[in-house]
Chain A
């Protein structure tokens, strides 16, 4: 079974802090994704990566950056957290010629 893990389930940060969200997958998948989920808005793509050191902006990249130094790990960085970044963050991966994205359990971030 594919396993996607996220470093924290719940996180509380202060406005202006730098925040790191980590995602690790164990299936050697090429592609990885970061989404944020808000009530009534569904999932919106922040960034994705097709390979190590490669990244592409999604629909809402403002205020975020990403890092992919190793194939199995994809990090989302909030350079200076703001209250409007309070949300649920979901990581996903896909690869091996499959069509299905596999999701991690999510990180619920609260920015005070």
Chain B
């Protein structure tokens, strides 16, 4: 069985500050891990993914995430927040042989203050 926990339904940062969105997962098979972003009234867009290659994954818009097996974590970071980063972020897990089925976390809404 697989599950995802996102710590913090709302995160607020100042423009230029570090962004850290937390994601912990559980999986009985080697996981694939994803971060998606959703801007208001839009669908989900892939930010980055981990598929058992490099543990530090770089995505679009300077976001990155590190897969830490010992901590079962896949936290999303960005060194310097921009106003345009305000959105909802979803962490998701799937596994080899799952035929692409994703289990999503409940989402974290990021606010960026000027």
Contact = CB atoms under 8 A, between A and B. Distances in A.
Interface of A: 4, 9, 31, 33, 40-43, 45, 48, 50, 90, 92, 94-95, 98-106, 108
Nearest to A10: B41
B67 to A, nearest CB: 14
Contacts of B104: 42-43
Contacts of A98: 100
Given A99-B94, A99-B100, A42 B107 contact: yes
A90 B60 CA distance: 22
B106 A94 contact: no
Given A99-B32, A103-B45, A104-B43, A94 B100 contact: yes
Nearest to A102: B46
A41 B9 CA distance: 10
26 contacts: A4-B43, A31-B100, A40-B106, A42-B90, A42-B107, A43-B90, A43-B104, A45-B101, A48-B101, A50-B99, A90-B44, A94-B100, A95-B100, A98-B100, A99-B32, A99-B100, A100-B34, A100-B49, A101-B102, A103-B36, A103-B43, A103-B44, A103-B45, A104-B43, A105-B42, A106-B41
How many chain B residues sit at the interface, stated as a range, is: 20 to 34
Contacts of A48: 101
B101 A99 contact: no
Interface of B: 9, 32, 34, 36, 41-46, 49, 51, 90, 94, 99-102, 104-107
B102 to A, nearest CB: 6
Contacts of A33: 101
Nearest to B105: A42
Contacts of B32: 99
Contacts of A9: 41
Given A31-B99, A41-B106, A99-B94, A106 B43 contact: yes
A97 B107 CA distance: 27
B45 to A, nearest CB: 7
Contact of B43 (A31, A45, A94, A105): A105
